[in-house]
Amino acid sequence: MRATNWARNHRWQPAARAVPATEAEVVALVAQARERGHRVKAIGAGHSWSDAAVTAGTQVSLDGLRRVLAVDLATGCVRVEAGIRLHELSTALAPHGLTLQNLGSIAQQSLAGAIATATHGTGLNNGHLGTQIVGARVVTGTGAVVSLDAQDQRLDAVRVHLGALGVVTELTVAAVPAFDLEEQAETRPVAEVIAELDAIRASAEWVKLWWIPHTGQVQIYRWSRTSAPRRARGGLAGLLERNTRLSYGPILALGGLVPSLIPSLNRSVFRTSFGTWSRVEPSNRVFSMAMPPRHRELGYGIPIARTAEALAWTVEHVERESVRVDFIFELRFVRGDTAWMSPAHGRDVCQIGAYVARSPDRARFFAAFEEHMLALDGRPHWGKEFSVGHELLRARLPEFDRFDALRRQWDPAGVFDNAFTDRVLGPRASA
Ligand SMILES: Cc1cc2nc3c(=O)[nH]c(=O)nc-3n(C[C@H](O)[C@H](O)[C@H](O)COP(=O)(O)OP(=O)(O)OC[C@H]3O[C@@H](n4cnc5c(N)ncnc54)[C@H](O)[C@@H]3O)c2cc1C
């Protein structure tokens, strides 16, 4: 049976599939693959737009390794099997009064898969998800098991591992005491947002911006800790938001059939779904939304100081080139960190994302957007669509060679190589 990712932009035929239920089974599988000169590639939830999990070798699903192994209430450290889904982890933490410090827009990903690509949420007090990791166990390409604690510098390689270092079997996460968030949402004209970007970004602990193309408006989300009584978003808009695949999917399909309608469809979605509201809910329910309709994404981490410039360029480009964009355009903010392959390595970034569902203008929009984000010193989001290769990435990521050296040490025979690692890290022949 062929495999596919969530967005269905990649379909592939693995030679074999395995769903190990223990670390020992992973070790045996990798050792056998190495002996036979075969390739192995782990897969989590298959939610990457990039081809990171694609393989013609053996596809190892971590679905059999998703239990919580230990919860240390004194430190908040939680040891889990690496295939656990983020929503399963949040559910397991709740009875202990614990939660994750930050999450991205959905929680369907596996933990190991999410950190592989530096999955992030927003808020300059927060790094990407891998920054919450304080320990890991990895089955390397030699079949050895490496166990890393927070003092081990190599943990900074595993925090954003690209699926290139081995099969991650266990992770320890530093959870935090559970907290509620108040979401305050408002819309502002995009020109005002560009002019006041620094102040808006600093106006709450967590700030996320959605420019709605063809409306001239930006939806601003601000999230702040609160002990106020919980209240969900009510009314029709709340219902639509909790069911975006049903409510929004048919509108995107119509735009795909008649692209000239896209600008007016965006305006009607804006009127029905966006505006001013507030709600109070547990943090994980505010961070992550209902699964959206199927769409494509390209994202870059750019230096924070270039955010306004990047948004202004995109707004102007879409207008000038008559690009029909049928999805939101997103800006989130991520604290700089020390992970070797992090797009935020050594600098705070704006994670800026161009998204398209059915518009026929996707390819030309993504190409122009990517070129501009590279001109702004951007680094790609590893889980999204990007076209740059190892020559440029080596120049952009100060610890690139260190990561590549560890990969070659842990996986000398290239058991975990695929077209993605060849493109991003360089093929073995160039060693
Ligand atoms: C609807 C949607 C919303 C999203 N929202 C966000 C968001 O808010 N923020 C954000 O940053 N990203 C977001 N993403 C992107 C997503 O978080 C990343 O692509 C993430 O890597 C997917 O996790 P996964 O478990 O599906 O991993 P997969 O896509 O299955 O795999 C990703 C990589 O991890 C490797 N891998 C997986 N498990 C293991 C393991 N146990 N050991 C070794 N390697 C492993 C794979 O080989 C591959 O290289 C979103 C994606 C979708 C579809």
pLDDT of residue 242: 84
Q: 347: pLDDT confidence band, cut at 50, 70 and 90?
A: very high
State the distance from the centre of ligand 1 to the C-alpha of 132, rounded, in angstroms: 16
| Other residues' Cβ atoms within 10 Å of the Cβ of residue 291 | 15
pLDDT > 70? residue 304: yes
- Bridge partners, residue 92, by sequence: none
Position in ligand 1 atom list of the atom nearest CA 48: 19
Q: 430: pLDDT confidence band, cut at 50, 70 and 90?
A: very low
Give ∠ CA 187-193-197 in degrees, rounded to 5.
Answer: 130
Q: 431: pLDDT confidence band, cut at 50, 70 and 90?
A: very low
Residue from 70, 61, 78, 69 nearest 25 by CA = 61
State the distance from the centre of ligand 1 to the C-alpha of 111, rounded, in angstroms: 8
Position in ligand 1 atom list of the atom nearest CA 55: 47
CATH class of the 180-380 domain in this structure: alpha beta
Residue 277 backbone dihedrals phi, psi, to 5 degrees = -160, 170
pLDDT > 80? residue 105: yes
State the distance from the centre of ligand 1 to the C-alpha of 248, rounded, in angstroms: 24
Q: Which residue's alpha carbon is at the smallest distance from atom 51 of ligand 1?
A: 47
State the distance from the centre of ligand 1 to the C-alpha of 1, rounded, in angstroms: 22
Q: 429: pLDDT confidence band, cut at 50, 70 and 90?
A: low
Q: Which of 229-243, 250-264, 344-358 is predicted least confidently?
A: 229-243
Position in ligand 1 atom list of the atom nearest CA 62: 41
CB 376 within 8 A of CB 131: no
pLDDT > 60? residue 190: yes
3 state DSSP class of 250:
helix
Mean pLDDT of 322-350: 98
Position in ligand 1 atom list of the atom nearest CA 109: 25
Q: Ligand 1: residues within 6 Å at CB?
A: 6, 41-48, 52-53, 62, 82-83, 104-106, 109-110, 112-114, 116-117, 119-120, 162-163, 167-168, 291-292, 383
pLDDT digits (tens, 9 = 90+) for 330-340: 999 999 999 99
Which residue shows structure tokens 């199927």?
Answer: 294
Mean pLDDT of 61-82: 98
Pocket test for ligand 1, best of 8, 41, 43 (most atoms within 8 A of CB): 43
pLDDT digits (tens, 9 = 90+) for 133-165: 999 999 999 999 999 999 999 999 999 999 999
Q: 28: pLDDT confidence band, cut at 50, 70 and 90?
A: very high
State the distance from the centre of ligand 1 to the C-alpha of 384, rounded, in angstroms: 9
